[in-house]
């Protein structure tokens, strides 16, 4: 990970911000590791992991107006949502399927992140369905600005929509529809494709005939960018530039972050049947949390003592979140058919 030239916005990040970025990457990793343990202990039913994707997600979160801009995540976006304000306890409540799970009262599977107060919007399980919904949000933002219902410069108002998905999901029709709509209407949309080169067991070369998902941007009349998704500062710079374009009325950006998932697709998958251990080991050498920690140590932003302090703090937060969730009440069976986002009208 190279130190960025002064022209890059990431070169202007304060030490405090760099440490916050590191903190959210670490917190996500530790929560994620615990989720795997809880699954193997038989305490939770399902886990789908963000491990390996932390740089792509936290880099993106820090480049937008967190908690104000709309975010339409996908199931792998734990680190993204944590960096926006989703709490470790929220995540544990969803893993344990408890009544107080803020995303849906446990009516959806875990990782269907949704926190209305943070403008994190609920999604459905069919992949890529969030993309036309995010394009619709971006259309509404632009419409409100053009009609004077909202001020384009008011940073207390959402000024863009960010959505994420995997490379395999870009084979779905919904993705193309959303991208086309974003191009036609020059929408303030950022689509972040987290390309981890597999869609469960299907490798990327069996999914598409071009080298990069971002190459397709031209066909929609939007800007396409490829970044190293394991380099959090590179992702930050790309998303920051895309956010500026969105805020300035210059339209949508498709960002492809090349990365790798370090673990099986989900707790129900065995990746040994479709990828070699050598390949996984090779990617582990450039995994994002270790990479960024090393970078910050080299820069003198982190010290070995701070690394230890952060590790202890993360463990404490994960322990506390698990404790709260385990003790929390289960939902009443009759609540199963309730709403997942807004309350149902009486």
Using CB under 6 A as the criterion, which residues of the chain lie in contact with ligand TPP when the complex forms?
A: 76, 125-127, 165-169, 172, 194, 196, 198-200, 265
Separation between Cα atoms, residue 98 and residue 104, nearest integer Å:
10
CB atoms within 10 A of CB 271: 18
CB atoms within 10 A of CB 252: 30
Shortest Cβ distance from residue 75 to ligand TPP (Å)?
7
Shortest Cβ distance from residue 204 to ligand TPP (Å)?
8
Pick one of ligand TPP, Mg ion, none as the site partner of residue 62 (Cβ within 5 to 8 A by kind): none
Q: What angle do CA 337, 341, 343 make, to 5 degrees?
A: 70
Cite the DSSP H helix spans in 156-276.
173-184, 217-220, 232-247
Which is nearer to ligand TPP, 145 or 194 (by Cβ)? 194
Residues that bind Mg ion (CB under 5 A): 166-168, 196, 199
Shortest Cβ distance from residue 344 to ligand TPP (Å)?
25
Q: How many CA atoms lie within 13 A of 282 on its CB side?
A: 6
Pick one of Mg ion, ligand TPP, none as the site partner of residue 180 (Cβ within 5 to 8 A by kind): none
Q: What is the DSSP string of 81-97?
A: HHHHT--HHHHHHHHTT
Rounded CA Rg of the chain = 19
Q: What are the structure tokens assigned to 50, written together?
A: 């963000």
Question: Is 185 annotated as catalytic?
Answer: no
Considering 274, 275, 293, 313, which one is annotated as catalytic? 274
Which is nearer to ligand TPP, 92 or 165 (by Cβ)? 165
Which is nearer to Mg ion, 125 or 248 (by Cβ)? 125
Pick one of Mg ion, ligand TPP, none as the site partner of residue 146 (Cβ within 5 to 8 A by kind): none
Question: Is 265 annotated as catalytic?
Answer: yes
Considering 260, 265, 295, 310, which one is annotated as catalytic? 265
Q: What are the structure tokens assigned to 61, written together?
A: 């979160």
Using DSSP bridges, classify how beta strands 202-203 and 189-195 pair: parallel, antiparallel or unpaired: unpaired
CB atoms within 10 A of CB 333: 7
Which is nearer to ligand TPP, 119 or 259 (by Cβ)? 259
Which is nearer to Mg ion, 10 or 170 (by Cβ)? 170
Pick one of Mg ion, ligand TPP, none as the site partner of residue 20 (Cβ within 5 to 8 A by kind): none
Shortest Cβ distance from residue 132 to ligand TPP (Å)?
13
Shortest Cβ distance from residue 170 to ligand TPP (Å)?
7
Question: Is 198 annotated as catalytic?
Answer: no
249 Ramachandran zone, left/alpha/beta (phi>0; psi -120 to 50): left
213, 170 contact by CB (below 8 A): yes
Q: What are the catalytic residues?
A: 261, 265, 274
């Amino acid at each position: 990970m190279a130190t960025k030239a002064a022209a890059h916005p990431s070169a202007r990040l304060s030490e405090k911000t760099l440490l916050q970025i590191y903190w959210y990457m670490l917190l996500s990793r530790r929560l994620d590791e615990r989720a795997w343990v809880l699954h193997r202990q038989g305490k939770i039913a399902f886990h789908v992991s963000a491990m390996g994707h932390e740089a792509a997600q936290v880099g993106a979160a820090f480049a937008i107006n967190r908690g104000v801009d709309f975010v339409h995540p996908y199931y792998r976006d734990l680190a993204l949502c944590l960096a926006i304000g989703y709490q470790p306890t929220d995540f544990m409540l969803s893993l344990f399927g408890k009544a107080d799970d803020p995303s849906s009262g446990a009516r959806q599977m875990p990782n269907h992140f949704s926190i209305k107060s943070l403008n994190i919007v609920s999604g459905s399980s069919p992949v890529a369905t969030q993309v036309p919904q995010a394009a619709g949000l971006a259309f509404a933002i632009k419409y409100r600005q053009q009609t004077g219902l909202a001020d384009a410069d008011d940073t207390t108002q959402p000024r863009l929509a960010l959505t994420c998905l995997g490379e395999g999901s870009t084979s779905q029709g919904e993705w193309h529809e959303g991208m086309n709509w974003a191009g036609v209407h020059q929408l303030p949309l950022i689509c972040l494709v987290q390309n981890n080169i597999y869609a469960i067991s299907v490798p990327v070369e069996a999914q598409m005939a071009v080298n990069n998902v971002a190459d397709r941007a031209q066909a929609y009349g939007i800007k396409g960018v490829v970044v190293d998704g394991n380099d959090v500062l590179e992702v930050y710079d790309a998303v920051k530039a895309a956010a500026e374009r969105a805020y300035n009325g210059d339209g949508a950006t498709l960002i492809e972050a090349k990365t790798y998932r370090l673990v099986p697709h989900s707790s129900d998958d065995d990746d040994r049947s479709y990828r070699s251990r050598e390949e996984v080991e090779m990617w582990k050498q450039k995994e994002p949390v270790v990479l960024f920690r090393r970078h910050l140590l080299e820069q003198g932003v982190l010290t070995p003592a701070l690394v230890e302090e952060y590790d202890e703090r993360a463990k404490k937060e994960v322990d506390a979140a698990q404790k709260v969730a385990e003790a929390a009440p289960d939902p009443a069976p009759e609540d199963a058919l309730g709403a997942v986002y807004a309350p149902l009208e009486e």
